[in-house]
A and B are shown apart, each in its own frame.
Chain A
Amino acid sequence: MFDINRDDSGAVHLAGRLDAASAPTAREFLGGIDDSCRLELSQLEYIASVGLGILVAAQRRLMDEGKGLLLAGMSPHLREVFALAGFEGVFEFE
C-alpha cells in the first residue's frame, strides 16, 4: 500500500511501499511539483530502485530551475543507502 499527498504547508508525505506497482502514482504526483518542497519520508516503509529513480528525476528537473527537494524523516537504513549510493551531494537532507 502506497500513499502520497501534500499537506497545507506544502510538504509532500510518502507512506507505505514505493515499488514498481506504486511507481506510476509517485511519478505522476512528483512530476506535478514545480517548486522546491519538503518530502516527508518517515512513513515510507520501503523504496525500490524505481522509486529512487523517480526522486532523482524530480530533483534533476527542479535543479535545472534552481530549485530542489528536501528529504526529511528518512529511516537510518534509507539514509545509509542514499549515502552509499552517492546521493548526498544531490539532495538536501533534514
Chain B
Amino acid sequence: MSSSELTTNGGVLLRIALALLPVLLFLLSLIILDTFKLVRRHRLVGALLAGAGAGLVSYIINSILINQLGWSLITYATTISPLIEEAAKGIYLVWLLRTQRAGFLIDAAILGFGAGSGFAIVENLYYLQNLSDAPLFVWVIRGFGTAIMHGGATSLFAIVVWGLSPSGSAGALRAWLPGLLVAALVHAGFNRFLTHPVLATVLVLVVLPIIMRVAYFIGERRFRRWLGRGFDRDTELLALIRDGDVRDTPLGRYLESLRDTFRPETVADLLCLLRLQAELSIRAKGILLLREHGLRAAEDPELAAKLAEVRWLENAVGRTGLLALRPVCRWQGADRWQRRFLHDETGPVR
C-alpha cells in the first residue's frame, strides 16, 4: 500500500470518526452519569434505530417538499425541515412515554438523545457518501455541531414533554406541541447560525452540557423523592395488610366501603391486588436502590408469576374495580413504569 493510499484511508477514517464519534461519546457520557442506570441496553439500541429510521423518513419527505416548494435551502432548513425532523424523532419519544417505557426525566432525556444520535448518524453517513471530498473542517462541524444538536434537540423535546406532563402522567398529549416547538426552534436556530458554523458549534458544545446537567440534577432529585417516598409508602402498606390492621386505617375503611358496591370476593381480589402491587413496587425500588451503589439484587424466581397474577387480578376486578381502587392504588402514573421495568427484569435482555 502506497503512502498516498495510507493518507487517503487515514483521511477517510478520520472523517468517519469526526462525523460519528462525538455524538456517540456524548451519549455514552449521559449513560455513565445516570446513577440508577434507568436505561437498558436494548431500549437504547431501539432509540438509535428509531432515530435512524426517522432520518430515512425525513430524508424522503424533505426531498419531496424541497422539489415541490422550490424554496431556497436556507429558508427550508430554518422553517420546514426542523419541524419535520423533530416530529419524526419525537414520535418515538411519544411512544416511549405513553407506554411507560420511559418513566422519568433522566431516562426520557437519554433516550431522546439516543434517538437524535441515530438520526445524526444516518444523516452524517449520507453526507460521508455524498461529500467525501469535503474538507475536515466540515466533519468537525457536522460531528461536534450538527450531530450533537440533533441529539440535544430531541433530548430537549423529551425534557419539555416530561416537564409539562401532569405529575404522575408520563407524556400528556398537550405537552407534545410545546416539546416539538422547543426542539424545532433549537434546530432551526442552529441551522440559521450555520452561516457562522464555528459559533453555532461552540454554542451547542457550551449550552447543551449545561442544560443536560441541570436536567439531570432536577431529574435525579425528583427520582430520589419518588423512590424514597414510594418505598416507605409501600412498606407501610405491606405492614398494614400483613398485620391485619388494615381495617382500622383510612385505607381499610375505604376498602370496607367498597363492600357496599362490590361482591366480597371482588373486595378480596382488590386487597390481594394492593398487596401484590406493594410487593412488586418494593422489588422494583429495591433493585434501583442497590443499582445506585453498583450492586445487583438477588434473583426472584417468582417475579414473572407475580406479574402474571397482577394481570389476572386486574382482569378479575375489571375496569370498575380498578377505578374504585384509584384513590389508594399504588401503580398510577410513574409507578406504572415499574411494571415495565420488572417485566424487563424477568426477560433474557439485560
Contacting residues, chain B, for A49 (C-beta < 8 A): 227-229, 231-232, 235, 285, 289
Contacting residues, chain A, for B239 (C-beta < 8 A): 77
> A85 near B286 (CB under 8 angstroms)?
yes
- Among the 9-residue stretches A2-10, A28-36, A86-94, the one with 4 or more Cβ atoms under 8 Å from chain B is A86-94
In chain A, residues 50-88, which have Cβ atoms closer than 8 Å to a Cβ of chain B? 50, 52-53, 56-57, 59-60, 63, 77, 80-81, 84-88
- Among the 9-residue stretches B66-74, B103-111, B296-304, B320-328, the one with 4 or more Cβ atoms under 8 Å from chain A is B296-304
Q: Does B293 contact A (CB under 8 A)?
A: yes
Q: Does B263 contact A (CB under 8 A)?
A: no
Contacting residues, chain A, for B289 (C-beta < 8 A): 49, 52-53, 56, 85
> B238 near A85 (CB under 8 angstroms)?
no
> A50 near B285 (CB under 8 angstroms)?
no
- Give the interface SS of chain A, mostly helix, strand, loop or mixed: helix
> B283 near A88 (CB under 8 angstroms)?
no
In the assembled complex, the CB of B27 is this many whole angstroms from the nearest CB of chain A, namely 27
Classify chain B: how many residues form its interface, as a range: 20 to 34
Q: Does B279 contact A (CB under 8 A)?
A: yes
> B298 near A81 (CB under 8 angstroms)?
no
A84 to B299, CA, bound (A): 10
Q: A86-B283, A88-B298 are in contact. List 13 more A-B contacts (CB 8 A).
A: A53-B289, A53-B292, A56-B289, A56-B293, A84-B286, A85-B282, A85-B286, A85-B290, A85-B297, A87-B297, A89-B297, A89-B298, A90-B297
Closest 5 CB pairs of A and B: A85-B286, A86-B297, A89-B298, A49-B231, A60-B293
- Contact residues of A with B, CB < 8 Å? 48-50, 52-53, 56-57, 59-60, 63, 77, 80-81, 84-90
Cross-chain pairs A/B with CB under 8 angstroms, 16 sampled: A48-B231, A48-B232, A49-B232, A53-B292, A56-B289, A57-B293, A80-B238, A81-B282, A84-B282, A85-B282, A85-B286, A86-B283, A86-B290, A86-B300, A90-B290, A90-B297
- Contact residues of B with A, CB < 8 Å? 227-229, 231-232, 235, 238-239, 242-243, 279, 282-283, 285-287, 289-290, 292-300
